[in-house]
A and B are shown apart, each in its own frame.
Chain A
């Protein structure tokens, strides 16, 4: 991550804002054109392209991130309003080289097809599990109702969230190196 030492002349047409925030646990100083949304700041100024855009209206959920642990639609949040706040994106779900249990189950159970809506689903589901460690299917439906997926029909997404509840310890033990794919596969065989 780099922040420009001074306003770049190439963007002189728009006033700029500089903020300090915590992104995925790391402090970040960033300066950007003041009109930018958090989504644009993440993608264009912090090079965190895992967060996606799909509608510009807060309707599709592809841009969901956690702001101070609460899911928000980053296309509806101004970057300038994020000074001093904590942002978690899909890039922040991997800890110590290990995938989050939700990432493991989404990968194993077909919950990610094209993968474009996946980051938004993952952070929203993480917020759900952080607050309600054992949600029912209806609570999962409700929590994810602001995220659209055009590929899966949602069923495998529900199952992946439920599988992440069911076996968090087992999932957490899975290393992410390529050699783990066999063990991940055998787990998914059982789940299916």
Chain B
């Protein structure tokens, strides 16, 4: 390897440290005007009247738009097309946009918002999970599984009840994971313009330009070929810029109407309303185990607070139950999931998408099981880790698994065996593990086309341009693209220009979500580069009269591997391109990547499959002050199964950034709501839509992180690489909770683990009640008849069985 695995300055680093990276709000165009959105100040209401006359008459205002200008709905998932760019007849949360003012400058637009008159007829507010479960009317949306339940699902794999019967003990625990938000430092921004040909261009801080492209075509009823979406580098995404957003549709429409560029940059408050962050999830885990910790059956129930719109919610719901089996061997498994609508900003995908919540429950419950069964939590996990190259009970095809090695690495580094259950009161260590997708196996909308594609243009100067629809959100997407091409062609990254995230110029990549970019774009890039290398090799072989197989590409040269120093049997890379262009004409190649077909053929099996999975293990050390409940984290150890590290500082940055974000979720971050006082409006509002009060960790809060990379190249990944952007976040929250228990002997079964909850739990302990803080119960939900699928070891083929078949299988076959 020339480059892969070596520490390298990322290709976009110079632009970033000189302040030259052009983010969406840095796009400044001649004649540009500015847009502001009027957002609902009531949580749930019918719009009786909107009068924009005063706003339109305000000096400097160019245009005022309302819901009537946007009759066609859109949404990220085909099954949840429930958003309008501006609300048509109903507002569903405080912050839902109802009108847009476009004016000569931001301040004028802001002034004119006050001049838009809206009359509302209030509707019942749904503030909690219970509200929406218990009250069917009024419905927040006219679609969904029933009442205010957006989605309710039930899946069953194998003889779960038999599994519980076989267990030596069955554990039941409830947990609550509070919602939180991405908080990218860059606020969403977008600029739309008509290009000189009269076609629409949108620059936007989006992680998914391809999906925005589709949504604009639909919502604006324009041919997609007449729309260009350019994803500007995102100033942090974390999942929060993965939906098509109101403001993107609004400025696009305004630019077409006004025939001049229109910009919007959301305020920080508005970013809290866009949200699409972590779903609050109430959950119940029931797990049957043998004396040695082996799992015989697991049942997971989750209840998600979806907020006011669908967003990715159907996928989020399935994700809360998808990956349990990928981490540990679970022979029989049942999952019940339910997502309700409430009158709050919509939830969606945040780093780990739907899986951190249930990972939190699962890993704390394993800690409880280990203690109850007098087992070491690390030893117990080592016994139950899923085996590589396995098809799980729910038909997820697992590739390489580095989890055992991750556990061994962190326990050794943290001196686990001499510290766990052995530190003085107030100090403790906790362990947890996890796994995550390296890219969703299925696209958002059904199609059989590639998920990622790369085009290369080779120039006779020796320069190469790599085109790909992938989006740079800070994770190093451009660096992976350039690194893979440079490695194959034996040139320096500086010789390559990356053109990315532009629907006019670049072939489709589905976007920066589900940790898919490195694996999918990387494989496409390697394919395109190998095809280019083959053309060059043919031409050079003819020139040097050598067999093609003897040619190597490195150090900007193509040379005879058997005589690397022989100038006569070598040409420069630029000359190689000249030879190839002479022989074949213009040199351009393409590569693409389509994930393998999923083994799951049942309804609901589309969420969870991935080409391969990453694994992580973490140990967190805490110091808890029992009088104040304050938790200090001096150190975190984390090992991540990366497959292969393409550019180590970037990989380490993803791991440490994940640990950081996880500690925020574990200890302080929460997206919560309150009622305004009755003398105002009693409206349900975001508790603190500002960075001042939404607490996130600063430099003073961040502990030392000891990162261990487990490298065992996975044949499915580019040069063996798996994902790293999301997986390392997952084990940290439960590891904190487990460490708090080790330190002071109380269970905090929800996040964030605040001082208040710790003090309350300690007080319970002092009063000889259950030493715990967490939800008391999981509500009774009328689950539908489950989709029953026989696991592979029960002779299943991945399809749902009819009832009678399941019964006969049960009688014939036990668990593995």
* A binding-site residues for B, Cβ under 8 Å: 10-14, 33, 35, 43-44, 47, 49-57, 59-60, 62, 89-91, 93-94, 99, 102-104, 106-110, 112-119, 122, 140-142, 144-158, 176, 178-179, 181-182, 184-185, 188-189, 192
Report B221-247 CB contacts with A as 1/0, cut-off 8 Å.
000000000000111111000000000
Are A49 and B17 in touch, CB under 8 angstroms? Answer: no
Chain B residues near A116: list those with CB within 8 A: 23, 184-186, 235-236, 474
B811 to chain A, nearest CB (A): 53
A/B pair count, beta carbons within 8 Å: 207
Are B16 and A115 in touch, CB under 8 angstroms? Answer: yes
- List 18 A-B residue pairs with CB atoms under 8 Å apart, sorted by A's residue number: A44-B28, A53-B187, A57-B268, A60-B185, A90-B17, A104-B17, A106-B13, A107-B9, A109-B649, A113-B476, A118-B17, A145-B699, A150-B696, A151-B657, A152-B657, A153-B705, A184-B9, A188-B649
Are A11 and B105 in touch, CB under 8 angstroms? Answer: yes
Are A113 and B690 in touch, CB under 8 angstroms? Answer: no
Are A94 and B185 in touch, CB under 8 angstroms? Answer: no
Chain A residues near B233: list those with CB within 8 A: 114-115
Chain A residues near B705: list those with CB within 8 A: 153, 155
- B104 close to A (CB within 8 Å): yes
Chain B residues near A140: list those with CB within 8 A: 699
Report B2-27 CB contacts with A as 1/0, cut-off 8 Å.
00001111101111111111110110
Option from B13, B185, B475, B661 in Cβ contact (under 8 Å) with A54: B185
CB-CB nearest in chain A for B235: A116
CA distance A59 to B183 in the complex (A): 13
In chain B, positions 693-708 with a C-beta closer than 8 Å to chain A are 696, 698-700, 702, 704-705
Are A156 and B656 in touch, CB under 8 angstroms? Answer: yes
CA distance A52 to B265 in the complex (A): 12
- B118 close to A (CB within 8 Å): no
Chain B residues near A119: list those with CB within 8 A: 19
Chain B residues near A122: list those with CB within 8 A: 17
Chain A residues near B474: list those with CB within 8 A: 113-116, 151
In chain B, positions 275-312 with a C-beta closer than 8 Å to chain A are none
CB-CB nearest in chain B for A144: B699
Chain A residues near B475: list those with CB within 8 A: 113
Chain B residues near A156: list those with CB within 8 A: 649, 652-653, 656
Option from B14, B186, B648, B658 in Cβ contact (under 8 Å) with A114: B186
In chain B, positions 89-130 with a C-beta closer than 8 Å to chain A are 104-105, 107-108, 111
Q: Which 9 A-B pairs have the closest CB atoms?
A: A50-B19, A114-B474, A116-B235, A115-B16, A153-B660, A153-B656, A90-B19, A110-B649, A107-B13
- B558 close to A (CB within 8 Å): no
Q: A148-B185, A153-B657, A154-B699 are in contact. Are A114 and B691 (CB under 8 A)?
A: no
> For the complex, would chain A's binding face be called helix, strand, loop or mixed by DSSP majority?
loop
A12 to chain B, nearest CB (A): 8
Q: A14-B107, A116-B186 are in contact. Are A181 and B6 (CB under 8 A)?
A: no
Are B690 and A149 in touch, CB under 8 angstroms? Answer: no
Number of interface residues of B (CB under 8 A): 69
Are B692 and A150 in touch, CB under 8 angstroms? Answer: no
A27 to chain B, nearest CB (A): 21
- B659 close to A (CB within 8 Å): yes
B203 to chain A, nearest CB (A): 13
CA distance A144 to B701 in the complex (A): 12
Are A154 and B23 in touch, CB under 8 angstroms? Answer: no
Are A13 and B60 in touch, CB under 8 angstroms? Answer: yes
Q: A59-B692, A107-B9, A114-B235 are in contact. Are A152 and B656 (CB under 8 A)?
A: yes
- B219 close to A (CB within 8 Å): no
Are B692 and A52 in touch, CB under 8 angstroms? Answer: no
Are A54 and B186 in touch, CB under 8 angstroms? Answer: yes
Are B653 and A150 in touch, CB under 8 angstroms? Answer: no
Are B9 and A154 in touch, CB under 8 angstroms? Answer: no
Q: A108-B13, A149-B185, A150-B184 are in contact. Are A114 and B660 (CB under 8 A)?
A: no
Q: A50-B18, A154-B660 are in contact. Are A110 and B235 (CB under 8 A)?
A: no
B62 to chain A, nearest CB (A): 11
- B492 close to A (CB within 8 Å): yes
- B473 close to A (CB within 8 Å): yes
CB-CB nearest in chain B for A103: B17
Chain B residues near A158: list those with CB within 8 A: 699
Are B107 and A35 in touch, CB under 8 angstroms? Answer: yes
Chain B residues near A94: list those with CB within 8 A: 18
Are B26 and A60 in touch, CB under 8 angstroms? Answer: no
Chain A residues near B26: list those with CB within 8 A: 43, 49
CA distance A157 to B656 in the complex (A): 11
B72 to chain A, nearest CB (A): 33
Are A114 and B690 in touch, CB under 8 angstroms? Answer: no
CA distance A27 to B145 in the complex (A): 65
Are A150 and B661 in touch, CB under 8 angstroms? Answer: yes
**Most chain A beta-carbon neighbours within 10 Å: one of B12, B15, B17, B475:** B17
In chain B, positions 179-194 with a C-beta closer than 8 Å to chain A are 182-187
Q: A54-B268, A185-B9 are in contact. Are A151 and B236 (CB under 8 A)?
A: yes
Are B107 and A59 in touch, CB under 8 angstroms? Answer: no
Are A145 and B700 in touch, CB under 8 angstroms? Answer: yes
CA distance A54 to B272 in the complex (A): 12
- B650 close to A (CB within 8 Å): yes
In chain B, positions 646-705 with a C-beta closer than 8 Å to chain A are 648-650, 652-653, 656-661, 690-692, 696, 698-700, 702, 704-705
A49 to chain B, nearest CB (A): 4
Chain A residues near B704: list those with CB within 8 A: 155
- B586 close to A (CB within 8 Å): no
B779 to chain A, nearest CB (A): 34
Chain B residues near A112: list those with CB within 8 A: 13, 16-17
- B48 close to A (CB within 8 Å): no
Q: A13-B111, A156-B653 are in contact. List 12 more A-B contacts (CB 8 A).
A: A33-B107, A51-B19, A54-B186, A107-B14, A110-B650, A113-B476, A114-B186, A150-B184, A153-B659, A156-B649, A182-B492, A185-B8
CA distance A57 to B23 in the complex (A): 21
